[in-house]
């Protein structure tokens, strides 16, 4: 018994940085007695929309009822574990199986399994994620899309009574819902189950049907400021990443590139680019040869990042606009060439020589 009640060590908590206006709105919403309908969190990738959606959901299910969760009650702790696992896994397949909701779909019928009952589920089709509490549902793309079957399974699930006062459905990457899925969801949004809140998280609102958006309270998220980016890096203990990487994140106002930038090859290359005034001819040739050996997606990514890095320098007045424009158009040409499969070594050399002029 004693063993059972022993407290787990304090979990590392991730907190959304910035977005004060949106948080204030959510605080007010939390206090309203009847909560239902839909919110849309729109804005570029890597700025904390999904994390805030999860924190707000945690607060709605928290035993102490704190707006973004108390982080102490058993519900908060379980949801925090889910949030932590989500942030650690770059791929859904890496998530612990306990968060997956599978359905059996024999003869087109789904069998409603108990979501948390161990061994009770015939694991056939992935439908969505259950985030540490049966009333926290997260729909994520199955492959490259959110499919109509996933929405249908969601509707089946929502027809069951919630366990707590509220239920939250986060639809992550909602812009990846195909049209059939969106139309199916629309029916639910038009007559939402009581006390169920939908949060659609999307980077590209253009791919959402206007009828869907018209059913949502839209929160438009702004990119992060330089200070906010630095604060997040500090919290993630990444404050010592290279200056070139930091500059790209600052220019982007987002951390979307962070995982890619942590790749050692990319970081080293960008460090060299950052130091272009001091590069010798020999180094430029070596660097361009190294570049040629990379595979196509990495080449494209590096050129895109190089352009962002140089734009940042230009904005800071460290590189004349005219030079940037010339290099930038050469980068664009090289990108097109790479798509056609041409060798990029010479183009890369030219980019460096142009920079040194
Ligand atoms: Zn709590």
Distance from the alpha carbon of residue 67 to the mean position of ligand 1, in angstroms? 9
Domain count within the chain: 2
Distance from the alpha carbon of residue 170 to the mean position of ligand 1, in angstroms? 19
Q: CB-based burial of residue 230 (10 Å sphere; 0-12 exposed, 13-18 middle, 19+ buried)?
A: middle
Q: How confident is the model at residue 121 (pLDDT cuts 50, 70, 90)?
A: very low
Residue at which a domain ends, from 200, 220, 240: 220
**End-to-end alpha carbon distance in the chain:** 74
Distance from the alpha carbon of residue 79 to the mean position of ligand 1, in angstroms? 9
Distance CA 72, CA 274 (A): 45
Distance from the alpha carbon of residue 111 to the mean position of ligand 1, in angstroms? 32
Asked if pLDDT for residue 178 goes beyond 80, the answer is yes
Residue at which a domain ends, from 220, 253, 286: 220
Is 4 domain-assigned?
A: no
Distance from the alpha carbon of residue 91 to the mean position of ligand 1, in angstroms? 28
Distance CA 63, CA 76 (A): 8
Asked if pLDDT for residue 10 goes beyond 50, the answer is no
Distance from the alpha carbon of residue 167 to the mean position of ligand 1, in angstroms? 15
Distance from the alpha carbon of residue 98 to the mean position of ligand 1, in angstroms? 21
Is 1 domain-assigned?
A: no
Based on the fold, state whether residues 118 and 21 are members of the same structural domain: yes
If we measure between CA atoms, which residue out of 56, 7, 12 comes closest to residue 35? 56
The count of other CB atoms within 10 Å of the CB of residue 89 is 13
The count of other CB atoms within 10 Å of the CB of residue 60 is 25
Full residue range of the structural domain in which residue 76 is found:
9-220
Is 3 domain-assigned?
A: no
Distance from the alpha carbon of residue 66 to the mean position of ligand 1, in angstroms? 7
Residue at which a domain ends, from 220, 253, 269: 220
pTM (two decimals): 0.77
**Which stretch of 131-145, 192-206, 292-306 has the lowest confidence by average pLDDT?**
292-306
Based on the fold, state whether residues 279 and 193 are members of the same structural domain: no
Distance CA 260, CA 31 (A): 39
Based on the fold, state whether residues 115 and 185 are members of the same structural domain: yes
Distance from the alpha carbon of residue 65 to the mean position of ligand 1, in angstroms? 7
Is the C-alpha dihedral spanning 243, 277, 292, 323 positive or negative?
A: positive
Asked if pLDDT for residue 145 goes beyond 80, the answer is yes
Q: What is the DSSP string of 251-296?
A: HHTSSTTHHHHTSHHHHHHHHHHHTGGG--HHHHHHHHHHHHHS-H
Distance CA 294, CA 268 (A): 13
Distance from the alpha carbon of residue 75 to the mean position of ligand 1, in angstroms? 6
Cβ atoms 299, 344 nearer than 8 A? yes
Distance CA 61, CA 170 (A): 14
Distance CA 348, CA 357 (A): 15
- Helix/strand number for the chain, H first, E second: 15, 7
Distance from the alpha carbon of residue 71 to the mean position of ligand 1, in angstroms? 5
Strands 37-42 and 125-130: unpaired
Average pLDDT over every residue of 287-303: 83
* Coil, helix or strand at residue 200: strand
Distance from the alpha carbon of residue 60 to the mean position of ligand 1, in angstroms? 9
pLDDT > 70 in the chain, percent: 88
Distance from the alpha carbon of residue 173 to the mean position of ligand 1, in angstroms? 26
Based on the fold, state whether residues 333 and 266 are members of the same structural domain: yes
Average pLDDT over every residue of 291-301: 81
């Amino acid at each position: 018994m004693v063993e059972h009640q022993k407290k787990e060590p304090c979990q590392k908590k991730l907190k959304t940085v910035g977005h004060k206006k949106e948080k204030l709105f959510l605080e007010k919403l939390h206090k309203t007695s009847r909560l239902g309908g839909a919110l849309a969190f729109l804005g570029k990738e890597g700025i904390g929309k999904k994390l805030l959606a999860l924190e707000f959901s945690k607060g709605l299910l928290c035993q102490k009822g704190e707006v973004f969760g108390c982080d102490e009650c058993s519900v908060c702790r379980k949801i925090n574990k889910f949030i932590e696992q989500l942030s650690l896994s770059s791929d859904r397949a890496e998530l612990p199986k306990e968060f997956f909701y599978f359905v059996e779909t024999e003869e087109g019928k789904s069998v409603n399994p108990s979501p948390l009952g161990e061994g009770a589920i015939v694991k056939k089709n992935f439908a969505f994620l259950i985030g540490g509490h049966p009333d926290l549902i997260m729909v994520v793309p199955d492959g490259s899309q959110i499919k109509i079957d996933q929405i249908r399974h969601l509707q089946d699930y929502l027809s069951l009574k919630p366990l707590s006062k509220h239920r939250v459905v986060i639809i992550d990457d909602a812009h990846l819902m195909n049209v059939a899925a969106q139309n199916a969801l629309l029916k639910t949004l038009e007559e939402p189950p009581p006390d169920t809140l939908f949060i659609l998280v999307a980077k590209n609102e253009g791919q959402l049907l206007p009828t869907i958006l018209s059913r949502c309270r839209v929160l438009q998220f702004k990119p992060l400021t330089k200070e906010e980016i630095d604060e997040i890096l500090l919290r993630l203990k990444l404050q010592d990443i290279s200056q070139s990487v930091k500059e790209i994140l600052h220019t982007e106002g987002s951390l979307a590139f962070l995982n890619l930038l942590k790749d050692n090859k990319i970081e080293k290359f960008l460090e060299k680019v950052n130091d272009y005034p001091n590069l010798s001819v020999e180094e430029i040739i070596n660097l361009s040869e190294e570049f040629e050996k990379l595979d196509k997606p990495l080449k494209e990514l590096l050129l895109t990042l190089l352009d962002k890095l140089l734009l940042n320098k230009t904005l800071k007045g460290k590189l004349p606009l005219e030079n940037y424009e010339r290099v930038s158009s050469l980068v664009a040409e090289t990108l097109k060439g790479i798509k056609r499969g041409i060798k990029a070594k010479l183009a890369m050399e030219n980019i460096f020589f142009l920079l040194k002029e």
